[in-house]
Amino acid sequence: MREKLELLRKAAFEELGGLTTPEEIEAFRVKYLGKKGELTAILKQMGGLSAEERPVIGQLANSVREDIEKKLADVKAETEKRALEARLQSEKIDVTVPGKRSPLGHRHPMYEVLDEIKDIFIGMGFQILDGPEIELADYNFTKLNVEEGHPAREWTDTFYFTEDSEVLLRTQTSPMQIHAMETMTPPIRILAPGRVYRKDEVDATHSPMFHQIEGMAIDKGITMADLKGTLSEVVKQLYGDDTVTRFRPHHFPFTEPSCEMDIRCHKCRGAGCPTCKGEGWIEVLGAGMIHPKVLEGCGIDPDVYSGWAFGMGLERMALGRFKISDLRLIFENDVRFLEQF
């Protein structure tokens, strides 16, 4: 048995030198030191030994086990150290590599135009107002001198919330004139941009939701000349000093007199082209002197005060400004479109 134990130690030591992976090490441990391992197999034969031999062989067996265990622990520590070094090598981080840039977005082109328009009006002493998109018919129509039965109040044109046609999605930003007149005292100079809603089918020039900008100035002695001067100056600042304006008579229930303002086509300079549909002029807004009935209804004395007001379509301004051909592009928010601005 002594011989068997010595041979076992020798064989184990030889095998240990070739172990490299955790799996091999575990397989080795089971083979030599496990319950069904080779050392246990030898020890099971100790029953056949004499009383004198037994302690001697026992001692030898223990020292063989200790030797193998110690060497196994060394090999294990060594392979673990090598594995760790290999990992540190492969997972090395180069802190000098440049970082990834996260893409930065920018303002929507239409809101850029709105910001420019706001800046121009703020420079002229106007105040920016925000107001409700859900309105009362009273504010959207009645107080603006749009009487019952007027075609603009039709169910086919307006999104109503209630059967009695009292609550609706505002069809224009003009009710902001009423809100301003009811809550402020003249002199009043306000600009009120926002969303408006009409029952229109979507096409290249229509959308059931679009944006308007309402403007209004009320003071003593305000005339049509102030309206013309202010609006001409605004479009010059927006489109350039050589911008030419034209005012045509028109009708709106809440202004008297009323007009529409055109600007001379910036593309063909009035000769007629596809941009202005051959007209030479592009219509940009409706305006007029605030109707005395409207002033009076809001508690402002029309014998003391007068004022002008206008409403323009924001999408149209953006289309013209950036030479965009289709209104739908403004709302689709396709990044490939937006990236061009």
Residues that bind ligand DAH (CB under 6 A): 172, 174, 214, 252, 255, 286-288, 309-311
Q: How far is the CB of 294 from ligand DAH (least distance, A)?
A: 10
Q: State which residue, 19 or 287, has the beta carbon closest to ligand DAH.
A: 287
Q: State which residue, 121 or 310, has the beta carbon closest to ligand DAH.
A: 310
Q: How far is the CB of 129 from ligand DAH (least distance, A)?
A: 13
Q: State which residue, 28 or 254, has the beta carbon closest to ligand DAH.
A: 254
Q: How far is the CB of 243 from ligand DAH (least distance, A)?
A: 20
Q: How far is the CB of 116 from ligand DAH (least distance, A)?
A: 20
The position carrying tokens 């001067």 is: 229
How far apart (Å, rounded) are the C-alpha atoms in residues 257 and 54?
128
Residue in the shown chain whose Cβ atom is closest to ligand DAH: 311
Burial (CB < 10 A; 0-12, 13-18, 19+), residue 89, is exposed
229 token code pair:
């001067």
Q: State which residue, 287 or 318, has the beta carbon closest to ligand DAH.
A: 287
Burial (CB < 10 A; 0-12, 13-18, 19+), residue 90, is exposed
Q: How far is the CB of 210 from ligand DAH (least distance, A)?
A: 10
Q: State which residue, 109 or 253, has the beta carbon closest to ligand DAH.
A: 253
- Contact call for residues 135 and 175 (beta carbons, < 8 A): yes
Burial (CB < 10 A; 0-12, 13-18, 19+), residue 104, is exposed
Whole-angstrom CA distances from 33 to 13, 27, 28 are: 13, 10, 8
